[in-house]
Amino acid sequence: MNNQEIMAMGQQYVMNTYGRLPMALVKGKGAWVWDAEGRQYLDFVSGIAVNSLGHTHPRVVEAINKQAQTLLHCSNLYWIESQVKLAKLLVENSCADKAFFCNSGAEANEGAIKLARKYAKQHYGPEKYEIITATNSFHGRTLATITATGQTKYQKGFEPLPQGFTYVPFNDLNALEQALGPHTCAVMLEPVQGEGGVIPADPSYLMGVKRLCEEKGLLLIFDEVQSGLGRTGKFLAYQHYGVEPDIMTLAKALGGGFPIGAMLAKDHVAKVFQPGDHASTFGGNPLASSAALAAMETLLQEGVLENAQAIGDYFKDKLSSLKNKFSYVKEVRGLGLILGVELTIEGKDIVARCLEQGLLINCTNVNVLRFLPPLIINRDEVDQALDILIGAMGTSL
Ligand code: PLP
């Protein structure tokens, strides 16, 4: 089928929930993807921070092939070797002690919200249930996670929303202090806001949040679904800040392209979950866990974090120089290879022109060009992307 045929069939049979670009991708290798007509694109979206090892990484493909011939699924009624090994790897490379596996970022955040509420009720009583999140945040599309998400555009039309969420401006410690009340049980933040426009937390802010949480007996939850697993140049974004959360959530890059999410917690928090409290049929099944184990071993063993940091610095420098070239570039932000260029104009035309020229990028929050290339990208590929980007931006002068 060609792009047009796939699109036409999709319009007839698939729910219209995405503003899709007019082509279908059918193949990927490293930082490159191909559409249904054989056109090649440099991928600076990576499935929105999923394909961090690039497309079809051989270690991930091999693990999936091998596991697919052995056992695809069995249920969490039984122990699963690859899941246990994955949990060990995640715990050994984070401040957490235990892992729970699920299938997506939203599901990981649902688990975090339930765990925080149960912990607070057990330790402080039934009146402690409220979670403070940031305006401009993004935590997922289930009812609880659109409510945790501090942006009304995701909530409109789906009311009544679950109770127990309050929002404060990001990077404003005073506002958070003012918002704390008798019902507050936790604070949930992205160390780097992704969908909200690539906004890293200020180090002093996160340190202040941690101090407040300790003083008031609140749990600190970091949503690392987008910022985690090497995207910022460290395994987890919080490691740039030296501020440890009690609970953290992961998904996106975890499975190297295979769907899997995780919610990690320190022992004193994790232990309030007992058999029957939380579950997920597919969570951490043999196939997903094998893919994720291979992806995470590759990430940690093959210099991927170091590359993300070094290439991220190089790319950010080059993007910063666009401020001198284009008067509509307002700010360049980000850590490692989650980079954003805020414009004073809308970004969608630039995204469309980049696509025409063979570069996939994305625009978030209307006017922030977001760059999420695979973490295995090299300088040459960054230079190729910059050439296309500069050409596309030049037409917006
Ligand atoms: N949390 C953050 C920070 C995200 O960026 C996303 C997705 O973009 C989610 C949660 C939701 O993840 P999923 O789409 O896998 O449910």
Q: Is 318 a catalytic residue?
A: no
The answer to whether the CB of 223 is under 6 A from ligand 1 is yes
Q: Can you give the pLDDT at residue 68?
A: 98
Q: Can you give the pLDDT at residue 395?
A: 77
pLDDT in tens, 74-100: 999 999 999 999 999 999 999 999 999
User: How far is residue 85 from each of residues 82, 99, 253, 297, 303, measured CA to CA in Å?
Assistant: 5, 11, 17, 11, 21
How is the chain split among helix, strand and coil, in percent rounded to 5?
40, 20, 40
pLDDT in tens, 212-221: 999 999 999 9
pTM above 0.75, yes or no: yes
SS3 state of residue 202: coil
Q: Which of 252, 266, 316, 318 is catalytic?
A: 252
The answer to whether the CB of 104 is under 6 A from ligand 1 is yes
Output the furthest CA–CA distance in the chain (Å, rounded).
60
Instruction: Give the integer Cα–Cα distance in Å for 202 and 244.
Output: 15
Q: Can you give the pLDDT at residue 396?
A: 61
Cα–ligand 1 centroid distance for 222 (angstroms): 12
Q: What CATH number belongs to 59-301?
A: 3.40.640.10
Cα–ligand 1 centroid distance for 138 (angstroms): 7
pLDDT in tens, 297-334: 999 999 999 999 999 999 999 999 999 999 999 999 99
Cα–ligand 1 centroid distance for 1 (angstroms): 31
Q: Can you give the pLDDT at residue 229?
A: 98
Q: Which of 223, 258, 266, 316 is catalytic?
A: 223
Cα–ligand 1 centroid distance for 226 (angstroms): 7
Q: Which long-range contacts (CB under 8 A, 24 or more apart) does 273-276 make?
A: 273/100, 273/115, 273/118
Q: Can you give the pLDDT at residue 114?
A: 98
Q: Can you give the pLDDT at residue 397?
A: 56
pLDDT in tens, 223-265: 999 999 999 999 999 999 999 999 999 999 999 999 999 999 9
The answer to whether the CB of 105 is under 6 A from ligand 1 is yes
The answer to whether the CB of 132 is under 6 A from ligand 1 is no
Section 270-288 average pLDDT = 98
Mean pLDDT, rounded, of the chain: 97
What is the position in ligand 1's atom list of the atom closest to the CA of 137? 3
The answer to whether the CB of 28 is under 6 A from ligand 1 is no
Q: Give the residue extent of every domain in the chain.
A: 3-57+303-394, 59-301
pLDDT over threshold 80, residue 377: yes
Cα–ligand 1 centroid distance for 325 (angstroms): 33
To the question of domain 3-57+303-394 being in CATH 3.90.1150.10, the answer is yes
pLDDT in tens, 195-229: 999 999 999 999 999 999 999 999 999 999 999 99
Measuring from atom 13 of ligand 1, which residue has the nearest CA? 105
The neighbour count for residue 74, using CB atoms within 10 Å, is 11
pLDDT in tens, 13-72: 999 999 999 999 999 999 999 999 999 999 999 999 999 999 999 999 999 999 999 999
